[in-house]
Amino acid sequence: MLRIIHPAFSFHGKAEDFIRICNEYDWTLAQIQYNFMDVDYQAGYKGLKYAADKGIGVMVMEPLKGGKLAQNLPSEMAAIYDECSIKRSPAEWALRFVWNEAGVTSLLSGMNSMEQVIENIKVADSGTPDSLGKDELLMFEKMRNAMGGKIKADCTECRYCMPCASGVDIPDVLAALNKAVMWNDPNPWMSGYSIIKGKADKCIECKECEQVCPQELPISTFIKEAAVLFRE
């Protein structure tokens, strides 16, 4: 007979679904994606805090966003690091941001060398909750704002365009397109596109969504771009 002593789950959905799942069972651990660029993505900070307050351990995956926060940084981010008086590697900064949250139990970080192993252990040892100062936290906010300027489709997710008659999850597709453009990476998994049910290729360019969009976005054009970018 199979006996589960410590029930846990890994999450890749929306914050409201994460909270619902947390309430439906006496979980020991939840695994979520979290880093300083994804505080509002999927479960995000809201979900992290909710789980921690319920006594659920939180395991963080993608603390370096697939390595994007550790190497080959966009010039906008590199410039902000250069301005900071405290000198740390991009990987250390990103890991410290996650460890700064008291609700984080542990994190998963891919390592390819002994140097990276040593750095990860060092940061885990010294990156205690609430160890970052106000100016340091402000730096991460500057990072998010700087990268936000690269957003292609300035969608507010008001969802006036939904439901789409063709079944396209318009706000989610636009969010994935923005992530891919911001990081110059069409990987459907890293952008969140792979878990979207209403893919961009369902669009028939009827443009009904554009008639109700408060931002007057050329939605059909963006959806077509997404269909081409994420074509499998």
Residue 61 phi, psi (nearest 5) = -110, 160
Q: Which domains does the chain have, with CATH numbers?
A: 8-148 (3.20.20.100), 170-229 (no CATH)
- Contact indicator for 164, 209 with CB cutoff of 8 Å: yes
**DSSP string over 21-34:** HHHHS--SEEEEE-
Residue-level pLDDT at 114: 93
Which pLDDT score, from 0 to 100, does residue 232 have?
A: 60
**Residues paired with 29 in a beta bridge:** 8, 57
**Residue type for 139, please?**
M
Ranges in the chain, pLDDT < 70: 1, 232
Which of helix, strand or coil describes residue 9? strand
> And the tokens for 17?
């679904």
DSSP states of 185-198:
---TTTTTGGG-SS
pLDDT of 41 reads 86
At 67 the pLDDT is: 85
Q: Quick one: which H or E segment has residue 43?
A: none
Q: Do 150 and 176 form a contact (C-beta atoms < 8 A)?
A: no
Distance CA 232, CA 39 (A): 28
